[in-house]
Chain A
Amino acid sequence: MHNCKKVREILIDSMYGESDVKDVKKYIEECPECRKFTEDLGVISEKMDILDADPPVNISDIVNTLDMAEKIEAGKKLKFEAVCFAVCALLITAAYAVLSIGFGTSFVIITQGIMFLCLPAVLIPVIIKRGAEEGAR
């Protein structure tokens, strides 16, 4: 047993492929108001389709967005690296100062030497990694 309200809901659902009208087909044939509603749905769909066109692709919009995203990402990375550098520098300086007081001048000279020798081992991989990242972009 159906009523018009329920049938109309089924008709709307079926127009959008969410339901099947076969259960209410007989009811529609017998109810002039529901038959009119079915016809109206066709007109509604046709009239509202006038707004269906999507705009063409604007390449410059996309390029600008990608450029902006890269800029923001680079800015974030730079900020993170600056903070990391500041924290590391602070920690190393503090540790170095404490150890220098404890071990004296010879410790300072030896560690300075080791640091200068190790510097390329740290910098070269960082430069290579940066180069690879630039290449990937």
Chain B
Amino acid sequence: MDEIRTIKEAQEGSRAALNKLLTDNYGILKGYLIKITCDSSLAQDITQETMLRAVQNIKRFHEGAKFSTYLITIATNLYRDYIRKNKRIESLPDDLESGIEGPEELSVKGIEYREAVRIIKALPYEKRAVFILKHYYGYSYEEISEILKCPIGTVRSRLHYCIEHIRNEMEKEGFI
């Protein structure tokens, strides 16, 4: 309810309302982009571009949708365009912000963290997007199909592929 009111105020031109919407959803947006691009500086660029597009097109936002979904949809489209232009789907740099500090954490969690990044990076972009949206952000199959503009069946099969891939990789590394 509160978000709907804030969106309405933003559509009427309130800067404070736009500021609140962006502040509330900044973490989700940038977190999603960091995970999907595996590149902090690219994630930063797309985050800013996404927020700019969202602000410029706020009047086209349809009631009923979540603002975070609106941002994620724009971000996904921008990243898809970026991949098309740069043709660098699989050559992602190893540059995810970890938030892991201290030597002890680096030795144990750091290895697990790098392994998780390596596994996620090995997934093709469309499949990686499905896994991230489902696993980290809890979107339903229907919502993911709307964000990625593909059928629900495709979303489901992509997620199954991701889990099988992750399982195989973890088995190889001896995690399971």
Interface string of B49-62 (1 = CB under 8 A from A): 00110011000000
Interface size, B (range): 35 or more
CB B102 to nearest CB in A, in angstroms, measures: 15
Contact: A61 with B19, CB < 8 Å?
no
By the criterion CB–CB under 8 Å, are B51 and A62 in contact?
yes
**A31 an interface residue at 8 Å Cβ cutoff?**
no
- Across the interface, A48 reaches (CB within 8 A) one of B27, B31, B51, B116, namely B116
User: Known contacts being A65-B55, A66-B18, is A51 close to B26, with CB within 8 Å?
Assistant: no
Given contacts A18-B141, A44-B170, A48-B135, contact A66 B19 (CB under 8 A): yes
Q: Please tell me if the beta carbons of B31 and A54 are within 8 angstroms of each other in the complex.
A: yes
List residues of chain B with CB under 8 Å of any chain A CB.
13-15, 18-19, 22-23, 26-28, 30-31, 34-35, 44, 47-48, 51-52, 55-56, 96-97, 99, 109, 112-113, 115-117, 119-120, 134-136, 138, 140-141, 156, 159-160, 163, 166-167, 170, 175-176
Chain A residue nearest to B32 in the complex (CB): A54
Residues of A within 8 A of B163 (CB): 12, 41, 44
Binding site for B on A (CB under 8 A): 8-9, 12-13, 16-18, 37, 39-41, 43-45, 47-48, 50-59, 61-66, 68-70, 72-73, 136-137
Which residue of chain A is the closest to B163 with respect to CB atoms? A12
CB-based contact A66/B55 at 8 Å: yes
Known A54-B28, A59-B23, A62-B19; 12 more pairs at CB < 8 Å: A18-B140, A39-B176, A40-B170, A40-B176, A44-B167, A51-B136, A53-B31, A54-B30, A55-B27, A57-B23, A61-B47, A65-B48
Interface of A is mostly: helix
